[in-house]
C-alpha cells in the first residue's frame, strides 16, 4: 500500500462531513487556515493532512473524532454497496460497560481507518491515544446516561 492511499478514506470522510454540513470548500479551507486547493487535495486523497491540520479541519467543520469515524464507516458502507457486497460487522458489539470495568481492549487504529499497511510509529501512537481518549469519553457519557435513567 502506498503512502498516498493510506488515508484516502479520511479525505473522503472529510468531504462527506463538509457536504453534510452544507459548507463549500473555500469556507472550510479559510476557517482551517489552509488553501482551497489543499483541502481539495486532502478530499481526493492526493495529499494527507497532518494531525494538526486534521484537527483544524474538524474544528472548521464543527466536528469531532466521532463524526469523522461515522463518516469513515459510511464511506466503507458505500464501497460495500457499490461493490455488491453486504456490509458485515467486523466483530460483535462489546459487552455492556460496568461502572468498575476498565477499557482493556486494544484499539486497532489501522482497522478503524480501513487500511491494512503499517503507519509511521508516531502517527499510529498519536491516533491510538486519541481513540483511547474518545473511548473513555464515550464510557463516561454512557455511565452518566445510565445513572440519569436509573434516577428518573
Mark which of 72, 88, 104 sits at the end of a domain.
88
Most confident region among 3-17, 94-108, 134-148 by mean pLDDT: 134-148
Residues 152 and 102 in one domain: yes
Q: Does residue 96 contact residue 30 with C-beta atoms inside 8 Å?
A: no
| 5 and 65, same domain (yes or no) | yes
Q: Is the pLDDT of residue 6 over 80?
A: no
Percentages helix, strand, coil for the chain (3-state, rounded to 5) are: 65, 0, 35
Which of the pair, 67 or 33, is modelled with greater confidence?
A: 33
Do 19 and 40 sit in the same domain of this protein? Answer: yes
- Model pTM score: 0.51
Residues 139 and 74 in one domain: no
Percent above pLDDT 70 for the chain? 74
CATH number at residue 11: 1.10.260.40
Distance CA 112, CA 79 (A): 15
Give 75-111 pLDDT, tens digit per residue.
776 665 555 544 444 444 444 445 555 544 556 777 7
pLDDT of residue 88: 46
Backbone phi, then psi, for 53, in 5-degree steps?
A: -65, -40
Can you give the pLDDT at residue 129? Answer: 82
Average pLDDT over residues 102-130: 73
Mean pLDDT of the residues in the chain: 76
How many Cα atoms are found within 13 Å in the side-chain-facing hemisphere of 120? 9
Amino acid at each position: 500500500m502506498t503512502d498516498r492511499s493510506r488515508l484516502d478514506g479520511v479525505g473522503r470522510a472529510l468531504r462527506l462531513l463538509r457536504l453534510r454540513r452544507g459548507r463549500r470548500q473555500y469556507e472550510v479551507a479559510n476557517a482551517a487556515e489552509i488553501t482551497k486547493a489543499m483541502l481539495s487535495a486532502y478530499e481526493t486523497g492526493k495529499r494527507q493532512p497532518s494531525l494538526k491540520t486534521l484537527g483544524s479541519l474538524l474544528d472548521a467543520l464543527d466536528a469531532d473524532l466521532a463524526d469523522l469515524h461515522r463518516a469513515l464507516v459510511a464511506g466503507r458502507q458505500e464501497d460495500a454497496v457499490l461493490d455488491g457486497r453486504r456490509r458485515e460487522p467486523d466483530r460483535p458489539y462489546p459487552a455492556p460497560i460496568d461502572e468498575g470495568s476498565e477499557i482493556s481492549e486494544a484499539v486497532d487504529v489501522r482497522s478503524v481507518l480501513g487500511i491494512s499497511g503499517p503507519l509511521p510509529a508516531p502517527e499510529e501512537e498519536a491516533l491510538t491515544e486519541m481513540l483511547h481518549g474518545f473511548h473513555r469519553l464515550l464510557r463516561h457519557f454512557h455511565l452518566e446516561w445510565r445513572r440519569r435513567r436509573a434516577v428518573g
